[in-house]
Amino acid sequence: MVGVLVRPMIADDAVLISDAFAAFGWDRPRELYRRYVSEADAEKRVCLVAERGGVFAGYGTLLWISDYPPFRRESTPEIVDLNVLPGYRRRGTGTALLDGLEAAAGTRSRTVGLGVGLHEGYGCMRAMAVRNGFTSAAATCPTGEELCTTTSVSSQGRLCLSMTPQI
């Protein structure tokens, strides 16, 4: 994407990312991002950061071994914790991160998984996933049990839509 630089996350990004999301009322501890970098160093996870004009815009991670049972059974890597700051949404930032994570997944797998919450807070992510070729694989409850292979919406947003594309 023109104007979006996607690069590996480094330990020094922890403060930047945590503070950027705190400005929007989202409490994400710095230690989380330090753990992500440590897991990337151990080749358990891929962590990417997006910048626009040299300014932090978002990040995303890919777990090589998913915690979600159906993805784990099929050895499907999973994109988890992809977040873009509000001012950078719908400008190609999320797609650039998604492309980078899919490219990483493609080095080991023909598919990649993505779990997306069904309440309104995940609307942008669901729309972006569909625009980028993800299709519904299953609806699940928070424990990871598959409920069905169609999309169902809980009024409390307790279901998770699992999506996979061919890559």
The answer to whether 65 and 73 are in contact (CB under 8 A) is no
Secondary structure (3-state) at 160: strand
Q: Which domains does the chain have, with CATH numbers?
A: 4-164 (3.40.630.30)
> pLDDT of the chain along its 167 residues, tens only?
458 999 999 999 999 999 999 998 888 899 999 999 999 999 999 999 999 999 999 999 999 999 888 888 888 899 888 999 988 988 889 889 989 998 999 899 888 888 766 666 666 666 666 666 666 655 444 444 444 333 333 333 333 445 545 55
pLDDT of residue 124: 67
CA–CA gap between residue 102 and residue 85 (Å, rounded): 20
CA–CA gap between residue 36 and residue 47 (Å, rounded): 7
Q: Model-level pTM greater than 0.85?
A: no
pLDDT of residue 154: 34
Q: Which residues contact 41 (CB under 8 A, 6 or more apart)?
A: none
CA–CA gap between residue 128 and residue 118 (Å, rounded): 14
Q: How far is CA 95 from CA 3, 11, 59, 150, in A?
A: 12, 23, 11, 25
